[in-house]
Chain A
Amino acid sequence: MSYLAKPKFHHPAIETNELGFTHRDYEGSISTLCAGCGHDSISSAIMRACFELSLPPHRIAKLSGIGCSSKTPTYFLGQSHGFNSVHGRMPSVLTGANLANKDLIYLGVSGDGDSASIGFGQFAHSIRRGVNMVYIVENNGVYGLTKGQFSATSDRGSKSKKGVANQDSAIDMAAIAVQLGATFVARSFSGDKSQLVPLIKAAIEHRGAAFIDCISPCVAFNNHEGSTKSFDYVRSHNAALNRLDYITTRAPITTEYEPGTTQVVTLHDGSKLRLAKIGADYDVHDRVAAMHHLHTKQASGEIVTGLIYMDETPHDLHDSLDTVDTPLNELNTPQLTPGQKALDGINASLR
C-alpha cells in the first residue's frame, strides 16, 4: 500500500465527463491492499466505468461483505454511500437497500471466500430474485486476509504457496450465475482493463442481476507457479469470447464493422453494446449454449472471459414485486398509514 496522499491540484486540461467531473471525482481513499493487487485494478476499472458513463457518484451505493475484496469500496467512489457489512451477507443487505430505493445504482463487491463459501447461499438467492445490481466477485482463489488458505473457487490440483495441492473441486461462479438465472453474466480478468471496463459499464446499464466473475490474482498468496489464478496462468489460458464496446445513446455508431464478426446489442435505454466476436458462432443470448460452452472450455483447461450471457429484457425484483415508482423510502405518512377510518372497518370485522 502507498502512504502518500495524492495532491488535490490537477492539470487544467484534465479529461472531464458530461457532468464536468474528472476521474478524481470518482476516487476514494488510498488503498490499503498489497502493491500490485488485482483488486486495485478492478477498483480503477469501476471508477473508469462510472466516469465514462457520467454517473453522479452520489447516486451509486456500494456494498460489500468481508475480506480483501470487500475492503475495496473504500478505495473508490468517495462521494457514494458505502456499506461494509458482514462476511458473506452483502447480497441480502444489497437486496434490502435496493428494495428501499429502486432509483440508485447498486454495486455489490465480493470475493470468492465471501460469495463462494460463507455467502454461497446469499449469492445464489440474490441472483435468483433478479435484484437489479452489479455483483462483482474479485476472484483470486485464495483467502488473502487470513493469509493463504484455499477458497472454494481454487481449482482441484492447484497448488498453494506452500506447495499443497487443493483436493476439492472448484465452484465456477459464472456458470452457476447462468444456471441461477442471472440476466447478465460475464467473466473478466483484472489484468485486462480494456475488456473489464466495458463489461462493468454494460453491467451497470443492465436492469437486472448482473454478475461479473473477475479473476484477480493475489500477489501475496496466489501468484506462484502451480496456481491456476496467477497472472501468468490466466493470461496463457484466457479464452476470450468477445470484445466489447459500450456505446451510449448519445454517441452515434460511426465505425463500420465486418459482418459476421460483430454483434450490436441494444440496451433498455437505447444505448448499445458492440460485441466483437472472437469465438465463432457464440451467441450471448443463448443460455443453454453458454452453459455448455463454459463447461466444455473448462474441461480443456481454458478460462472463458468476456460477456457470457445476456438477456436484453430482464425482469428485476421490483418488477416481480410490482412496487410503486416512488422509492419506498420516500413514501410519507399519508401514503403509508391508512388512518382511523380504515381501522374502524377492520375493528368492525373483528367482532
Chain B
Amino acid sequence: MPIESVNDCVIRFANVNGSGSASANQLFARSIMRMGVPVAPRNIFPSNIQGLPTWYEVRVSEAGHMGARGGTDFMVAMNPQTWDKDVASIEPGGYLFYDSSRPIPASKLREDIVVLGMPLTDICNREFSSPRERNLFKNIMYVGALAALLDMDLAETEKLIAEQFKSKEKLIAPNHKVLRMGYELAKSTFQCPLPMRIGRSNKVGDSIFIDGNTAAGLGAVYGGATVLAWYPITPSTSLAEAFERYCARLRVDPATKKKKYAIVQAEDELASIGVVIGAGWNGARAFTATSGPGISLMQEFLGLAYFAEIPAVLFDVQRGGPSTGMPTRTQQSDILLAAYASHGDTKHVLLFPENAFECFEFAALSFDLADRLQTPIFVMLDLDIGMNQHMCKPFVWDDARNLDRGKVMSAADLDAAKDWGRYLDVDGDGIPYRTYPGTHPTKGAYFTRGTSRDRYARYTEEAAPYVDNMQRLLHKFETAKTLVPAPVIRKAAQPTRLGVLYYGSTSPSMLEAADLLAKDGVHLDLLRVRGFPFSSEVTDFIAAHEQVFVVEQNRDAQLRTLLLTECDIDPAQLIRTLNYDGNPITARFIRKAILEHVERLSAKNPKVLS
C-alpha cells in the first residue's frame, strides 16, 4: 500500500554535487515553509566541489519535529551513481521519482514502491540550448513536478523565485516557465495528488529559516566582535563569511564608509588564534571560527590565553574526527578536546547551542563572558546545526543591553585605586582587574606572560605564588558556573526515576524521542546542558534520578566523561547513548537505544519504570 500522509514525510533528493540542485532543493523546502508547514532540511554532502554524490533531505512535520527522522518516504533519484542504494533505502509503500530519459530496466526498480518517471533531460534538451540551462532547469522542473504530486501551492514557489531573483529580473520568467512545465506535465502524466500530501497549515508562525553558522556570525556582530581571524575549514567557513557579510551591511560608518571591524584570513589556525589573543589582550572583542583540526592546532595558544587570562571566543563547528575524519559529516566529538585544551592543568568554558536561535544568542553572549571571565570561551556548534538551514524563533535584541566589557581599569580608576595588581582577586570571585595597553602614563602597565607570576604580574618560579594563582583560576572557573547559560529541564508527565542529559544538535531528536517513549510507557525527565562548567542544577538532576541516559554524538561518551570527572558521579548511574556514524542522531535511534536499555533494566528490576 502506498504511504498515506498529510504533512508528515521525509523527501530525499539524490543529486550530483555541483549540478545546481542545492538551490532548487532549498526552493522546495522553503515553499513548504511558506505554506505554513514546518520543515527540517538537511544537506548530506561529500568533501568535493563537483561530481560526487550529494543528498538533500526534507523532513516535513506538522507536529514540528525538527530532528532527522531516518528513512525516506519519497526519493527524487537524480544520480545514477547512487541509484541502487537510493532505491533500496525507500520505505515500503514509498515513492520514487526519477529522470526517465534513459530507460531503467525493471530489475533496477522495486515492486513495493510507487515509481514515477519523467523525461527531465529530454525535455530540457529540447527546450534549451545552453548546457548550463539544460542542467539547472532540470532541477527546477522536478520542483514543479513535486508540487503537483504533493498537492503543493505552486504560487508560493513562484513567489520565492521572484524574491530570489529580485536583482536579476530576467531570470524570473524562464524559471517560472520551467517550474510550470514540470507542474503541468506531472498533472497530465500521473494521478495527482499522491496519497502522500502537503497541505497548507499555520504551524510556522513568525519562524525564520537560517543555518547556525550564519546565525552565529550575526550574533558575533551583535556581540560587538570587531576582530575576526580565521582559516578556512569545513564546516566552519560559512560562519566567518556570514560575519563578513553582515559587517559589510551593519558595521560600516555611514559618513566615512570606513569599517568598524577587521577580518584577517590567517595563514593557519595558529596564527588565527594568535591574532585573536593579541586583539583580546589589547581590548578588542575578537574571535575565530574553526573545527576540530583547528582546535588541535591551537592548543598551545589556548593554554596561554587560559593562564595569562586573555578573552577570546572560538566557534568550533564540529565534524567527524579523528584526524581529517569525515570533514562533511556531523559529530559532537571535540568536547574533551575543547574542555581541557592545552598542556598543564587547564579548563575552558563551553557553550552548547541547540539550534540557530541559540547560535545567535550564545554568540553574542560569548563575548560578554570572555570579557567578564578573561578567558577563552568555546561555542560548540556542529555541522548539523552550523551548515543546515533550520526553522527557529526570530532573533531578538534588547536595545537597552550594554556590552559587558568586564573588569577593566580606566586611567581614572587607576588614579583612584590604592593598589592595583593584574592578578589580585579584589572581589573574591577569582576574576582580577585588567588594563588595556596605553591607558595611563605611569600606572597599570604590566607584563603578560605564559610563565608563572605573582599577583602583581612579576615573574616568579616560587611554589607558593604559583599555587596561589592556579587556585584562583579554579575559583574563577567556579564563578563561571553561575554565568554560563543554565540548563533547560523538561519534566516527564509523571514522576520517573529515569533522566536524560543531552546537548546541542541532539535536541530536536531527543524531544521527539521522549514523546515517542512516553507513548511506549517510558517516562523521562530531560535536562539539556547548555554550558560547561556544569552548574549545581546538573548535579542535582543526576542525583534525583536512578539512571540518567547521556545522549551524545561521539564514540567515547565525552560529555559523560566530563560529568564523571568534574562532578564525581558514580559511573553506573550514567548510561551511554551514542550515535557517531556522521549522520545527525535520529529520534528512532534514541528511542530504540533507550527502550533496549530499559527492557534490560526492568528484567532485572521491574520497579525501575514505576
Which residues from chain A sit less than 8 Å from chain B, CB to CB? 56-59, 61, 63, 73-74, 78-86, 89, 91-101, 103-104, 121-122, 124-125, 129, 317-318, 321-325, 328-329, 331-333, 335-340, 342-343, 346-347, 350-351
Write out the residue numbers on chain A whose beta carbons fall within 8 Å of the beta carbon of B286: 96, 99-100
Asked whether, in the complex, the Cβ of B399 is within 8 Å of the Cβ of A339, the reply is yes
For residue A347, give the distance in angstroms from its CB to the closest CB of chain B.
Answer: 4
Partner of A79, one of B218, B301, B445: B445
Q: How far is the CA of A163 from the CA of B272 in the complex (A)?
A: 41
Nearest A residue to B274, CB-CB = A92
| Minimum-distance CB pairs A-B, first 5 | A96-B278, A92-B274, A100-B284, A81-B437, A329-B283
B259 touches A92 (CB 8 A): no
Known: A84-B448, A324-B253. A333 touches B304 (CB 8 A): no
Q: Kindly state the separation between the CA atoms of A323 and B227 in the bound complex, as whole angstroms.
A: 11
1/0 per residue, CB under 8 A from A, across B247-281: the answer is: 00011010011111111101110111111111111
Q: Once the chains are docked, how many angstroms separate the CA of A98 from the CA of B281?
A: 11
B447 in contact with A96 (CB, 8 Å) = no
Do the beta carbons of A336 and B224 come within 8 Å of each other? yes
- Provide the residues of chain B in CB contact with A125, threshold 8 Å: 266-267, 271
B85 smallest CB distance to A (angstroms) = 34
Say if the beta carbon of B296 comes within 8 Å of chain A.
Answer: no
In the complex, A322→B226 CA distance in Å? Answer: 13
A343 touches B396 (CB 8 A): yes
Contact A79 B260, CB 8 Å, known A97-B279, A97-B437, A125-B266: no
Q: Check A322/B259 contact, CB under 8 A, given A58-B440, A350-B208.
A: yes
Q: A93-B281, A99-B278, A324-B259 are in contact. List 4 more A-B contacts (CB 8 A).
A: A83-B449, A92-B229, A125-B267, A337-B403
With a cutoff of 8 Å between Cβ atoms, the chain B residues found around residue A336 in the complex are 221, 224, 226, 251, 260, 403
Q: Hey, which chain A residues are within 8 Å of B281, CB to CB?
A: 83, 93, 96-97, 100
Which DSSP category, helix, strand, loop or mixed, fits chain A's interface? helix
B278 pairs with A323, CB closer than 8 A: no
Provide the bound-state CA to CA distance between A93 and B282, in Å.
Answer: 10
* Beta-carbon contact of B262 and A321 below 8 Å: yes
Q: How many interface contacts (CB-CB < 8 Å) are there between A and B?
A: 231
Judge whether B304 and A85 touch: CB under 8 Å. yes
| Contact status B278-A95, CB under 8 Å | yes
Of the candidates A322, A329, A346, the one whose C-beta lies within 8 Å of that of B436 is A329
Task: Tell me the bound Cα distance from A93 to B445 in angstroms.
Answer: 18
Segment 285-311 of B: residues with Cβ below 8 Å from A? 286, 300-301, 304
B222 with A347: CB separation less than 8 A: no
Residue B394 interfacial (CB < 8 Å)? yes
Q: Within 8 Å CB of A81, what residues of B?
A: 435-438, 445-448
Write out, one digit per residue, whether chain B residues 307-326 have a CB within 8 A of any chain A CB (1) or not (0). Answer: 00000000000000000000
| Residue contact B262 to A121, C-beta cutoff 8 Å | no
CA–CA, A122 to B229, complex, Å? 13
Q: Which of A57, A96, A104, A122 contacts B277 (CB 8 A)?
A: A96
Q: Are B284 and A329 in contact, CB atoms less than 8 angstroms apart? A: yes
B250 to A: closest C-beta gap in Å: 4
Give CA–CA (A93, B271) in the complex, Å: 8
Give chain B residues whose Cβ lies under 8 Å from the Cβ of A328: 226-227, 260-262, 279, 284
Nearest A residue to B263, CB-CB: A321
Residues on A with beta carbons closer than 8 Å to the beta carbon of B256: 324-325
Question: Which parts of B197-233 form the interface with A (CB within 8 Å)?
Answer: 206-210, 218, 221-224, 226-227, 229
**What are 29 of the A-B contact pairs (CB < 8 Å)?**
A58-B437, A61-B282, A61-B438, A79-B441, A79-B445, A81-B447, A82-B448, A85-B277, A85-B278, A91-B274, A93-B277, A95-B264, A95-B274, A96-B277, A96-B280, A97-B278, A100-B226, A321-B263, A322-B257, A324-B260, A328-B284, A329-B282, A331-B224, A335-B260, A338-B221, A338-B251, A346-B218, A350-B210, A351-B207
